[in-house]
Copies of this chain bind each other. A is one copy, B any other.
Amino acid sequence: MQNKKHVLGVDIGATLVKVGLVEKGGKIVSKTSFLTKKFVSKKAFIKRLIEEIGQVIKNNRRAKGNLSGIGIGIPGTVDYSKGIVHNLTNIKGWKEVPLKKILRKFFKTPVFIDNDANAFACGQLKWGACRGAKNAICVTLGSGIGGGLIIEGGVYRGSNYSAGEIGHICIDINGPGCGCGSKGCMEAFVGNKYIINRVIKQIKEGRKTSLVDMVGGKLQKITPELLTKAAKNGDKFSIEIWKETGTYLGIGLSGLVNVLNPERIIIGGGISKAGKFIFTPLKKELVRRTMNQHLKALKVMRANFVDEAGITGAASLVIENK
């Protein structure tokens, strides 16, 4: 970071945009957020984004003249080198937007834009659980499965910056349809929506669970958080659902371990808060299915920064380029 000690990280989520000022070591010293969905037009969204970034900088006297760049994580596909965001769900008219150019012109500081999973992996590598690793698979579990690959000590982005889509490996030829257009993808077993769909389906088929009372019979109100709460209270059905989910994840990841021979798997994202309920079956399946030599090199770890991993990840994109 040379002499400039602060970096700005922007985590654009499907529902919330988080902006944070990050200092050495990944510590967030100031942050704010606003709702993504409120903005329907591209223009209004970019205007608000610039205002919020400006506000965070203004609010921190230490940041003035001391900002080494802005890093942005996007839930979509990005041309990393040009800083063009191909698509951004929820924002009307968003197509091939040169966000890097726009922000660089306004803030007169270097700007780096990548998809959120790569940003997450970069943050874990620079400041988090992935530090010191040569090769790793970084996973964010949420509405989708994000993947960021660390290869030979750096973020690996692939031939047109699209690498890391680990949710879209097929683990079941006869599996359910996936949002990507394929069938039986790991995401179609482990993504938020699919877990909840499985839960609701089984409850409707007559499975008994304390979840029903927890949501007053309104099944569409069931969330992964409630599923974890129920599991902690000993609800057998919820424990079983997490076990299934961890197993599916282990099936997919074991294949990737056989291919990539990483020394670490880093797991983050909302779903990872299920803790041992998902980690125990995941590790068991990895042991069961991974080849011996590969297993010897491997450690499975939880990500650092939890809910802030998006901001620190985005900020780390600036550090990556120093």
- Report which A residues bind B (CB closer than 8 A): 77, 86, 134-135, 147, 149, 151-152, 156-166, 168-175, 180-183, 185, 248, 251-252, 254-256, 258-263, 288-291, 293-294, 296-297
Residues A163 and B255 in contact in the complex (CB < 8 Å), given A158-B135, A173-B171: no
Q: Can you add 14 more A-B contacts, CB < 8 Å, to A170-B255, A170-B289?
A: A151-B156, A158-B260, A158-B262, A159-B263, A162-B261, A163-B261, A164-B259, A165-B258, A165-B261, A169-B255, A169-B258, A174-B174, A182-B289, A182-B290
* CA A156 to CA B175, docked complex, whole Å: 31
* CA A169 to CA B156, docked complex, whole Å: 20
Per assembly, the copies of the chain total 2
Partner of A169, one of B168, B259, B296: B259
CB distance from A249 to the nearest CB of B (A): 12
* CA A46 to CA B162, docked complex, whole Å: 46
Partner of A159, one of B134, B157, B173: B134
Residues of B within 8 Å of A174, CB to CB, are 172, 174
Residues A294 and B182 in contact in the complex (CB < 8 Å), given A159-B263, A256-B259: no
* CA A135 to CA B156, docked complex, whole Å: 10
Residues of B within 8 Å of A251, CB to CB, are 170, 173
Q: Is the CB of A163 within 8 A of B256?
A: no
Residues of B within 8 Å of A165, CB to CB, are 258-259, 261, 291, 294
Can you pick out 26 interface pairs between chain A and chain B where the beta carbons lie within 8 Å of each other?
A77-B293, A134-B159, A135-B159, A151-B156, A158-B261, A158-B294, A159-B262, A159-B263, A159-B297, A160-B294, A160-B297, A162-B291, A164-B261, A165-B291, A170-B171, A170-B252, A170-B254, A170-B255, A173-B248, A174-B174, A180-B291, A182-B288, A182-B289, A185-B255, A255-B255, A259-B259
* CA A163 to CA B263, docked complex, whole Å: 11
* CA A159 to CA B147, docked complex, whole Å: 19
Residues of B within 8 Å of A261, CB to CB, are 157-165
* CA A290 to CA B181, docked complex, whole Å: 9
